[in-house]
Chains A and B, each alone.
Chain A
């Protein structure tokens, strides 16, 4: 077998069977995954199902703190977890660009398997296609996630009220900053890692609490975009306190150099929650005790004093946090 993916790996024949057996089935095997059958049979519990779909195209596919394999699991299970469901099953679509090194593919699928194990989910069926060189960017994954609804509250922005508190489970902007670092065209290097991780424990730890209104994982567009989403859905103002925002010094440095703001950078292992003021401290202390939860913080309030997303700066000044509109470009100087 050649060391790179060729078109014949996608033609349905022997090469493809090898690819599936030697890479995908090898790492992802479980009692529900049956490579001989076209559909998977899922055991049903007496609970409501929730489902989500996601696509993953990150470049570079391997970055400090993770890779596209683990990222696709984290992204999928996190969408379920923040919605109140414990993730159980994932289906996987794979599009590989001709020429990808088999070793690389093996590496990301292995890391996918590890992430799935950690999250307690099973890959139950999959599909693989190979596209000619130049028609893709190494490898893309698309997933469907399925989980059982487990929260007592049906989370919704409709539940959000003035006075509610906004919490984040950890530092802001690590993934976005790590990806920028990994794109070597910036000519920077650093010790920063992506925060890519599943947030199941953070979400599950508050499923029983009545005062939780809504949760979201602040991925693309960062925390600022989530706050704008709250603002638009509710019509209430958001008051965020910069002094309480946990941000690594490296992230600030990178942002200063490149002219970005951490609030707009993607996070892949964080949850933002809106909760009733009375339970904010309780949620905070639960989160702080969880692994990776040391930096959890109450970062802001929902308010009816204005209708904007306002950042109270460290200095004590006020400014708005604009909605991300244009693609942020590296600045001219």
Chain B
């Protein structure tokens, strides 16, 4: 059923008379995976470019935050917990020093990967004689359960090193720049579920960029792609919700309330991009006693921000902003592969370089993809 629908959307896209080149950006690692896993790029007309944009919370997590987490894990008598992906992201220090949380663990630090924020509570309760630091990096989707957890009351020994970010300000920043680099936007499904689809209205109203919210099935993605192409052709723009099963007007009010109650929206640094106004979350004052940044403030080191933000040779900053495709980085697939990531984009499952390495046909070796033949056969 949904496969037939997907083929139907694909056919409709291929039937469109598209005169110009059109670049469609997605800002969600999950979307990039949907596109890559279904091989959608190989099925679209050549003038449609699908660009992965700032969609991975691991990739844009500032280097100084990861550095801080590593220092805390190494020097304090704590258990440091983080989402699994964060453990392998390298910081910019010499090879002799500890570069990742994983290496910190190998050096004796108690670093534990978790899959869901709730595990933080149980680890804290099981180790009441220890300080637990939860390094919570993520977008609205991951940050709102952290907020809920805080609102419901944290164990005394649990401290939060918050590195939460909002998605839309990065898109706004791109759109306000001289060269946004895209003509249409696929807006993130999970984020809209939490924050409400209205958040993306500004893209249409202020910037006149066709926008549609997509889910994570090929069908929903293709429907969204068709929608933005039609909008572009017809000149009639509207925020199209192609993920109506879970994205509802207004979003998830409870999640938003938790975020408002426990966190402030602040200007924050994005790795490789810089400070984006009102783009991140900080714990609000009433939770100062649980804010790892305040409790362990001796460790904060502003000078780190000036040390090159990406490892030498790594083009993640351009990849994250959709300025180049992952395989245009010189290190892609040579020095930089998932087992030996140089930059953060090769680490996370949501990172564009990692997704491409896992799915995109290697250019030099593969035969030319016969998208025209494949489409005919549908």
Contact = CB atoms under 8 A, between A and B. Distances in A.
A308 B337 CA distance: 17
Interface stretch (A75-83, A146-154, A214-222, A310-318): A310-318
A322 B366 contact: no
Contact of B85 (A186, A308, A319, A331): A331
B142 interface: yes
Nearest to B349: A331
Interface string B105-121: 00000000101100100
B313 interface: no
Contact of B361 (A185, A318, A330): A318
B43 A326 contact: no
B85 A329 contact: yes
A313 B39 contact: yes
Contacts of B337: 325
A3 interface: no
A307 interface: yes
Contacts of A185: 115, 119
B240 to A, nearest CB: 21
Contact of A320 (B10, B41, B83, B360): B360
A333 interface: yes
Interface in B111-146: 113, 115-116, 119, 137-139, 141-142
Contact of B374 (A307, A316, A320): A316
B74 interface: no
A325 B338 contact: yes
Contacts of B57: 332-333
A42 B332 CA distance: 56
A329 B84 contact: yes
A305 interface: yes
B359 A332 contact: no
A261 B34 CA distance: 12
A306 interface: yes
Interface string B53-78: 00001100000000000000000000
Given A305-B367, A306-B366, A320-B359, A332 B349 contact: yes
Contacts of B138: 332-333
A310 B350 contact: no
B218 interface: yes
Interface string A283-326: 00000000000000000000001111011111111111010011
A305 B369 CA distance: 11
Given A329-B84, A332-B138, A332-B348, A319 B362 contact: no
Contacts of B369: 318
B40 interface: yes
A259 interface: yes
A308 B43 contact: no
Nearest to B115: A330
| A187, A306, A325, A332, most chain B CB atoms within 10 A | A332
A219 B138 CA distance: 34
A317 B374 contact: yes
A313 B137 CA distance: 33
Contact of A319 (B7, B37, B58): B37
Contacts of B349: 259, 329, 331-332
Interface residues of A, number: 29
A256 B220 CA distance: 15
Contacts of B41: 317
A60 B119 CA distance: 20
A315 B365 contact: no
Contact of A315 (B10, B85, B190): B10
A258 to B, nearest CB: 9
B302 interface: no
Contacts of A315: 3, 6-7, 10, 38-40, 43, 218
A319 B375 CA distance: 15
B378 interface: yes
B339 interface: yes
B339 A319 contact: no
A304 to B, nearest CB: 10
A182 to B, nearest CB: 16
A251 B338 CA distance: 25
Contact of A332 (B83, B339, B362): B83
Contacts of A333: 30, 57, 138-139, 141-142, 190, 350
Interface in B19-47: 30, 36-43
A129 B163 CA distance: 49
A71 B366 CA distance: 39
Interface string B338-378: 11000000001110000001111110011101000011011
Contacts of A330: 84, 115
A301 to B, nearest CB: 14
B175 to A, nearest CB: 24
Nearest to B9: A315
Contacts of B84: 329-330, 332
A257 to B, nearest CB: 11
A314 B3 contact: yes
Interface of A: 185-187, 256, 259, 261, 305-308, 310-320, 322, 325-326, 329-333
21 contacts: A185-B119, A186-B115, A187-B116, A306-B365, A308-B366, A311-B39, A315-B39, A315-B43, A316-B43, A316-B374, A316-B377, A317-B39, A317-B41, A319-B36, A319-B39, A320-B360, A322-B338, A332-B142, A332-B349, A333-B142, A333-B350
Please name the 9 residue pairs, one residue from A and one from B, whose CB atoms are nearest each other, closest first.
A317-B39, A329-B84, A330-B115, A322-B358, A313-B39, A319-B359, A319-B39, A316-B374, A317-B42
Given A314-B38, A316-B378, A317-B39, 18 more contacts: A259-B349, A306-B367, A308-B362, A310-B366, A315-B10, A315-B38, A316-B374, A316-B377, A317-B41, A319-B37, A319-B42, A320-B362, A325-B337, A329-B84, A330-B115, A331-B349, A332-B85, A333-B138
